[in-house]
Amino acid sequence: MASGSILSIDKLAIHDDTIIKKDIYPYTPYTTTFDESDEIRIAIQSKDTYLLPSESFLYLQIVVNTTGTHGNEDPEIKFVNNFASFLFSDVRYEINGVPIESVRNVGRASTMKLTVASRLSHLIGYASFCKTFESTRARHANEASYDIAIPLSAWFLFCDDYRKIILNCRHELILNRSRQSLDCTMGGGSTVTSAKSSVTLKKIEWKMPHITLSDHLKLSMLNYLSKNRKIIVQHRSMDMVEYPLLPETTSHIWSVKTVPYANKPRFVIVALQTNRNGQRVRDASKFDTCFVSEVRLHLNSQIYPYNMNSLNIGGGIYSELYANYAAIQSSYYNGVESINPFNVNFGAFQSSPLFAFDTSRADESLIGGSIDLRVEIKTRENIPANTAAYCLIIYDSEFVYSPFDGIVARNV
């Protein structure tokens, strides 16, 4: 501690009175039923408000119904990690009717992103919830009720990155329920009479913080708005690409997609799953090794990683892979958030690996034109049947809005 700080006896305490109140208001959907495959819309229509989307969250009440008979050899029915996200197939955030960010395959996309990088400040409650419920039996009775609070920053990188108020805009969430809830739980038997579970969404609310300013700051804000200045919102977005059925070979190059330079990937996460989609006895939140010996990312002529020893994850040879994964957290948040509440330890990583690539410091050869993104996968044995590959691309994005006239323009 500097000596000046303890000797400044003439200094008075500084109190921040610019914000006099922060209330959490609930908003409900237009519809009252939230069955599988339904579209759920929640809108915040009042424009003359200062909202803080980065601290908003969804409040859900669910009921788990269990039927059938549980055999002695059958595993207990339990929730998977981040099970609430698997209730939805895709989600979209709109401001003044303009889509700001959308996420497909919400359960797997959010699980991959949170496992690699997440904020301690906003997500520690949800991380503790997920870790507790990952080992919780879903079959305490024929019918059991639970409630969940999901921070929107777990799904939308706009809410994770832009931690400021949004002025005088109409907000809307569009949520599409999954066609089935099998991926939310795992366990039970494989026979017709074995125990089965289904998840029903009974209630959903969007809890949004409303900010009330002091009179002095409110006057300054009104003067600012009267000049019709446009506000630039810079954030990151994520795009989930799926390869539903990999060929049963020992070497495969997956041409993921071609993207314009404006969407140059900052981080890319690859994961493999064998026979886990829609399988009620399997854990959809875990990923498989699939005998992988090497995974490389190609961005045009650039290759990531530049050099890595051959992997044998099941045999314990994966320390470099884990080091690359663990380093993303600090890089993603520029060293500010060094602790990831969803972090997977070295031992657990062996049974559910992720292949994470930091491409944020690409060289000048990627400037201009389009970027061809390819993933090269090599294995020691043939890739198992019914193996799907997932590639999560995180890229820079921004939009501009005018609080005075309501115009929103997305720059991608």
Residue with tokens 């996460």, as numbered in its chain:
269
Is 136 part of a structural domain of the chain?
A: yes
Q: What pLDDT, on the 0 to 100 scale, is given for residue 29?
A: 95
Is 178 part of a structural domain of the chain?
A: yes
Q: Is a pLDDT exceeding 60 seen at residue 344?
A: yes
Q: pLDDT (tens digit, 9 = 90+) per residue, 156-210?
A: 999 999 999 998 899 999 999 999 888 999 888 777 677 788 899 999 999 999 9
Domain endpoint, select from 185, 215, 232: 232
Q: What pLDDT, on the 0 to 100 scale, is given for residue 133?
A: 87
Q: What pLDDT, on the 0 to 100 scale, is given for residue 346?
A: 95
Is 113 part of a structural domain of the chain?
A: yes
Is 333 part of a structural domain of the chain?
A: yes
Backbone angles phi, psi at 322, to 5 degrees: -65, -40
From residue 261, alpha-carbon distances to 2, 103, 157, 298 in Å are 47, 20, 19, 15
For 42, half-sphere exposure in the C-beta direction (CA atoms, 13 angstrom radius) is: 24
Domain identity same for 70 and 216: yes
Give CA–CA dist 43/27, Å, rounded: 7
Q: Is a pLDDT exceeding 70 seen at residue 1?
A: no
Structure tokens at 225: 């708005």
Domain identity same for 371 and 387: yes
Vertex 249, ends 243 and 254: CA angle to 5°? 35
Residue 131: strand, helix, or coil: helix
Q: pLDDT (tens digit, 9 = 90+) per residue, 388-404?
A: 999 999 999 999 998 88
Is 341 part of a structural domain of the chain?
A: yes
Q: Is a pLDDT exceeding 80 seen at residue 91?
A: yes
Number of domains within the chain? 2
Residue 153: strand, helix, or coil: helix
Q: pLDDT (tens digit, 9 = 90+) per residue, 103-148?
A: 999 999 999 999 999 999 888 899 999 988 887 776 655 778 899 9
Is 6 part of a structural domain of the chain?
A: no
Q: What pLDDT, on the 0 to 100 scale, is given for residue 279?
A: 87
Domain identity same for 144 and 160: yes
Structure tokens at 33: 């039923």
Mean pLDDT, the chain, whole residue set = 88
Domain identity same for 108 and 227: yes
pLDDT (average), residues 262-282: 89
pLDDT (average), residues 222-226: 77
Domain identity same for 168 and 34: yes
pLDDT band at 283 (very low <50, low <70, confident <90, very high): very high
Q: What pLDDT, on the 0 to 100 scale, is given for residue 99?
A: 95
> Which residues form the domain of 126?
17-232
Q: What pLDDT, on the 0 to 100 scale, is given for residue 412?
A: 61
Domain identity same for 160 and 172: yes
pLDDT (average), residues 207-222: 83
Q: Is a pLDDT exceeding 70 seen at residue 3?
A: no
CATH of the domain at 287: 2.70.9
Q: What pLDDT, on the 0 to 100 scale, is given for residue 220?
A: 79
Q: What pLDDT, on the 0 to 100 scale, is given for residue 236?
A: 94
Is 405 part of a structural domain of the chain?
A: no
Domain identity same for 223 and 312: no
> In degrees to the nearest 10, what's the CA dihedral of 336, 339, 344, 350?
70
Q: What pLDDT, on the 0 to 100 scale, is given for residue 19?
A: 75
Q: pLDDT (tens digit, 9 = 90+) per residue, 35-87?
A: 999 999 999 987 778 899 999 999 999 998 888 777 666 778 889 999 999 99
Residue 132: strand, helix, or coil: helix
Q: Is a pLDDT exceeding 70 seen at residue 331?
A: yes
Kindly report which listed range (5-14, 238-247, 249-258, 281-290) carries the lowest average pLDDT score: 5-14
Q: Is a pLDDT exceeding 60 seen at residue 92?
A: yes
Percentage of the chain modeled with pLDDT above 90 = 60
Give CA–CA dist 240/349, Å, rounded: 21
Burial of 190 (0-12, 13-18, 19+ CB in 10 A): exposed
Domain identity same for 212 and 261: no
Domain identity same for 33 and 133: yes
Q: What pLDDT, on the 0 to 100 scale, is given for residue 54?
A: 95
Domain identity same for 166 and 103: yes
| DSSP for residue 137 | B
CATH of the domain at 37: 3.90.249
Domain endpoint, select from 232, 258, 280: 232
Residue (of 270, 285, 327, 343) closest to 119 by Cα position: 343
Q: What pLDDT, on the 0 to 100 scale, is given for residue 208?
A: 96
Domain endpoint, select from 183, 200, 232: 232
Q: Are 228 and 402 in contact (CB under 8 A)?
A: yes
Beta pairing, strands 78-79 & 265-274: unpaired
Is 317 part of a structural domain of the chain?
A: yes
Q: pLDDT (tens digit, 9 = 90+) per residue, 4-42?
A: 577 777 776 666 667 778 899 999 998 888 999 999 999
Domain identity same for 266 and 171: no
Backbone angles phi, psi at 386, to 5 degrees: 60, 40
Give CA–CA dist 16/171, Å, rounded: 28
Domain identity same for 244 and 345: yes
Q: What pLDDT, on the 0 to 100 scale, is given for residue 131?
A: 87
